Structure 1
Amino acid sequence: MTARIGHTVKAVLFQVHSIAGLVLALLVSLIALTGAIMSFEDEIVDQLNAGIMQVAPRQVPALMPDGLVARLKAGQDVGKVSAVTLSSDPAAAVHVRFARDERGDRPTSLYVDPYDARMLGSPRGEAFFATVRRLHRWLLIPGDGKGWGRPITGTVALGLIVMLVSGLVLRWPRRAGSAKMWLKPNLGLSGRGLHRSLHTVIGTWVLPVYLTIALTGLWFSFEWYKDGVTRLLARPHVTAAKMPAKSSRAVDRSGTAQPIGFDQAWTTFQREEGGRFSRAQLTLPAGAATVIRIRSWGKDRTLETTRDEFRIDAVTGQMVSAERYDDKTFGEKIIAAIYDIHRGAILGWPGKLAFMIAAVLMPLFSVTGILLYLSRRRLRRPAQPPLGRLVPGE
Structure 2
Amino acid sequence: MANKRLKKIIRQTHLYLGLVSGLVVFIIAITGCCWVFRAEITRMIDGDRSVEAEDRPFITPEQAKAFALKIYPDKQIHGTAYGHATDPVEVIFYEAEPEFYHSVYLNPYSGEVLDNKNHREGFFWFVLKGHLYLWLPKAIGSQLTGYGTMIFVVMLITGVILWWPKNKKNRKQRLKFDWKTTTRWRRKNFDLHSIVGFYVSIFALVIAFSGLIMAFNWVYFVTYKTWGGDKAPQFIIPANVSEMVPPDSDENPPINRLFPILVQEYPDYESFEFHYPATDSSSIYVEISSQKGVYYSSDYRFFDQYTLAEIETPGIYGKYSNASLADKVIRMNYDIHVGAIGGLPGKIVAFLISLITATLPVTGVLLWWGRKKKERTKDINLLSIQRKHTQSAFASNSE
Deviates more, 1:330-339 or 1:33-42: 330-339
Larger Rg: 2
Distance 2:239 2:326 in 1: 28
| 1:11 partner letter | K
Change (3 A) 1:278 1:354: closer
Kept in 1: contact 2:64–2:91 (CA 8 A): no
TM-score normalised by L of structure 1: 0.84
| 2:329 partner letter | I
Taking only aligned residues, the RMSD between alpha carbons, in angstroms, comes to 3.3
Kept in 2: contact 1:291–1:312 (CA 8 A): yes
* Superposed CA offset, 1:113-167 (max 9, x none): 111111111358873323322321233333x4xx343332221121111111101
Question: Gaps (5+ residues) in structure 2?
Answer: none
2:298 to 307, 310, 329: 307
Partner of 2:92: 97
| SS of residue matched to 2:90 | strand
TM-score normalised by L of structure 2: 0.83
Partner of 2:257: 267
Kept in 2: contact 1:151–1:222 (CA 8 A): no
Kept in 2: contact 1:312–1:319 (CA 8 A): yes
Kept in 1: contact 2:33–2:354 (CA 8 A): yes
Change (3 A) 1:122 1:40: same
Partner of 1:71: 67
| 1:317 partner letter | L
| 1:385 partner letter | S
Distance 1:155 1:91 in 2: 45
1:204 to 178, 193, 198: 198
Kept in 1: contact 2:237–2:282 (CA 8 A): no
Question: Gaps (5+ residues) in structure 1?
Answer: none
Partner of 1:233: 227
1:1-394 equivalences under 5 Å are 4-52=1-49, 54-74=50-70, 79-87=75-83, 89-100=84-95, 104-123=98-117, 127-128=121-122, 129-142=124-137, 144=138, 147-176=139-168, 180-188=172-180, 189-236=183-230, 239-240=231-232, 242=234, 244=236, 247=239, 263-265=253-255, 267-268=257-258, 270-271=260-261, 274-276=264-266, 277-284=269-276, 290-298=282-290, 303-321=294-312, 323-381=318-376, 382-383=379-380, 384-386=383-385, 387-388=387-388, 389=390
Change (3 A) 1:269 1:228: farther
| 1:59 partner letter | D
Distance 1:202 1:212 in 2: 16
* Superposed CA offset, 1:359-385 (max 9, x none): 112332112111111222233343323
Kept in 2: contact 1:196–1:372 (CA 8 A): yes
| SS of residue matched to 1:14 | helix
Query: Post-superposition shift, 1:90?
Result: 1.5
Distance 2:256 2:92 in 1: 17
Q: Using the aligned pairs only, state the percent identity.
A: 23
Kept in 2: contact 1:108–1:127 (CA 8 A): no
| 1:303 partner letter | V
Kept in 2: contact 1:85–1:95 (CA 8 A): yes
Change (3 A) 1:241 1:160: closer
